[in-house]
């Protein structure tokens, strides 16, 4: 029995290719659980220092990690019978830079006595999660989600106040509002600014937790912080000292953060950027958890854009946050016949926002989803275009999972 696949992996400072040609064999079942041997092809980087094996009982959510050093196989013990375990491997260099995860494999541990001597071992199956959002493609297809859009894992398709990823992890349906967990204590949000160090201590007090990038293109934290090189959303798993999942962390980075506030469930929120004339009002029953909310400029020229009547681009953070009740965004914009568009990362295009009113130099937008918006004249809109929000370093920015940051 074997599973073979390969995955291109990028370390924070060095490039590496790790072939996860894993051979996984059930070695034994005992009173303490089963033991599985996992092996993989060696990495050729000269400054390679070792490997880590991550595993758990949920696809894309690894609650256990083993630092195996510079070997290419290890035995994973005490695995519960009747459970399916998911495995992925990372590589790290002598400076401590760690790659993202290899492609995932999983294995069902049979109950004792279920296999006759010499019988077949349960096959290892390749779990396909094309957008690396933690929900397998097969499940996304079943629920009518988009297997190419990582943001939909953080949306609330049935409007019950709990996002799709949390429902998947809880075993409830994200398309049935009558079936949902009673709380959302899995997702955490942090908002940051491009070029500034983003402190992760709010979800990692005293550095007690391990913060693991969700995909191989997301930068690994250093000293409990990251310094993003491009705007967008960065996803991590936060694991405690017992290797149990604590949170799924989303870090939303805007080019220029102008104002930030804290939303509390049950309390109406008004957040205003007085300099650029942007305000957002969020109902008290729009989100079931506490979350930071921010307003940011996509381009430093936003002030002159308002002054001269050209397109105004701005971010409303967190990226991809979907509300159960619509928020109202009010923008100062005096050009006649304004058009409002929101950047759609899936299609890489600007999409017209339909629920918009304009009067007395103010444009009011009703939206269920936060992200990157622009307001421009009807003539300038020209039916919409495919330009993406552009960061200083040339990467796509705004409310998408940016290519340069990995989604």
Show contacts of 304-309: CB within 8 Å, 24+ apart. Answer: 306/276, 306/277, 306/332, 306/333, 309/334, 309/335, 309/377
Q: At 168, is the secondary structure helix, strand, or coil? A: helix
Do 335 and 363 contact (CB within 8 A), yes or no?
no
User: What are the structural domains, with CATH classification, of the chain?
Assistant: 7-126 (2.60.40.10), 257-381 (2.60.220.30)
| DSSP state letter for 19 | -
What is the predicted pLDDT for the residue at 269? 97
With CA atoms as reference, report the closest residue to 5 among 103, 94, 80.
Answer: 103
Q: Cα(374)–Cα(398) distance, rounded to whole angstroms? A: 11
Query: Mean pLDDT, to the nearest integer, of 89-97?
Result: 88
Per-residue confidence (pLDDT) for residue 61, from 0 to 100: 78
- Average pLDDT (73-94) is 82
pLDDT in tens, 279-304: 999 999 888 788 999 999 876 444 44
Tens-digit pLDDT profile for residues 375-393: 998 876 665 454 556 443 3
Range scoring the smallest mean pLDDT among 56-60, 131-135, 328-332: 131-135
Beta pairing class for 210-213 and 232-239: antiparallel
Residue 147 has pLDDT above 70, yes or no: yes
Q: How far is CA 401 from the centre of its chain?
A: 8
Paired sense of beta strands 338-344 and 322-332, if any = unpaired
DSSP-derived 3-state class of residue 138: helix
Query: Where does residue 45 rank: exposed (0-12), middle (13-18), buried (19+ CB within 10 A)?
Result: middle
End-to-end CA distance of the chain: 33
Q: Taking the model in full, what pTM does it have?
A: 0.59
Per DSSP, the three-state class of 173 is coil
- 390 is written with which tokens? 């552009």
Cis peptide before 318 (omega within 30 of 0): yes
Q: Cα separation of 362 and 330, whole Å? A: 7
In which element (H, E) is residue 169 found?
helix 164-170
- pLDDT above 70 covers a percentage of the chain that reads 72
């Amino acid at each position: 029995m074997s599973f073979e696949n390969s995955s291109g992996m990028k370390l924070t400072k060095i490039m590496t290719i790790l072939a996860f040609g894993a051979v996984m064999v059930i070695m034994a079942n005992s009173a303490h659980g089963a033991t599985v041997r996992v092996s993989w092809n060696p990495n050729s980087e000269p400054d390679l220092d070792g490997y880590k094996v991550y595993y758990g009982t949920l696809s894309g959510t690894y609650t256990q990690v083993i630092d195996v050093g510079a070997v290419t196989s290890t035995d994973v013990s005490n695995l519960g019978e009747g459970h399916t375990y998911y495995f992925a491997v990372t590589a790290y260099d002598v400076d401590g830079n760690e790659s993202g995860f290899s492609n995932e494999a999983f294995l069902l541990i049979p109950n004792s006595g279920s296999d006759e001597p010499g019988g077949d071992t349960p096959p290892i199956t390749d779990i396909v999660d094309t957008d690396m959002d933690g929900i397998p493609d097969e499940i996304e297809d079943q629920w009518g989600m988009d297997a190419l859009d990582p943001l939909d894992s953080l949306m609330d398709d049935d409007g019950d106040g709990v996002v799709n990823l949390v429902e998947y992890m809880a075993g409830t349906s994200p398309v049935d509002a009558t079936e949902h967990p009673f709380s959302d204590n899995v997702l955490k949000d942090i908002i940051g600014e491009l070029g500034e160090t983003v402190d992760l201590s709010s979800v990692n007090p005293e550095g007690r937790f391990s913060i693991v990038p969700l995909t191989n293109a997301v930068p690994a934290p250093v000293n409990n912080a990251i310094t993003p090189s491009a705007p967008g959303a960065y996803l991590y798993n936060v694991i405690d000292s017992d290797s149990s999942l604590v949170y799924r962390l989303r870090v939303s980075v805007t080019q220029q953060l102008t104002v930030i506030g804290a939303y509390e469930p049950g309390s109406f929120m008004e957040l205003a950027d007085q300099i650029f004339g942007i305000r957002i009002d969020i109902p008290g029953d729009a989100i079931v958890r506490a979350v930071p909310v921010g307003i940011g400029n996509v381009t430093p020229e936003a002030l002159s854009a308002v002054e001269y009547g050209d397109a105004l681009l701005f971010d409303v953070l967190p990226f991809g946050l979907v509300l159960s009740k619509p928020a109202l965004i009010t923008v100062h914009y005096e050009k006649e016949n304004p058009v409002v568009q929101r950047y759609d990362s899936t299609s890489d295009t600007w999409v017209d926002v339909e629920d918009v009113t304009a009067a007395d130099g103010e444009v009011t937008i009703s939206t269920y989803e936060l992200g990157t918006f622009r307001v421009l004249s009807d003539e300038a809109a020209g039916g919409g275009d495919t330009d993406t929000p552009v960061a200083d370093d040339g990467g796509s920015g705004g409310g998408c999972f940016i290519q340069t940051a990995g989604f």
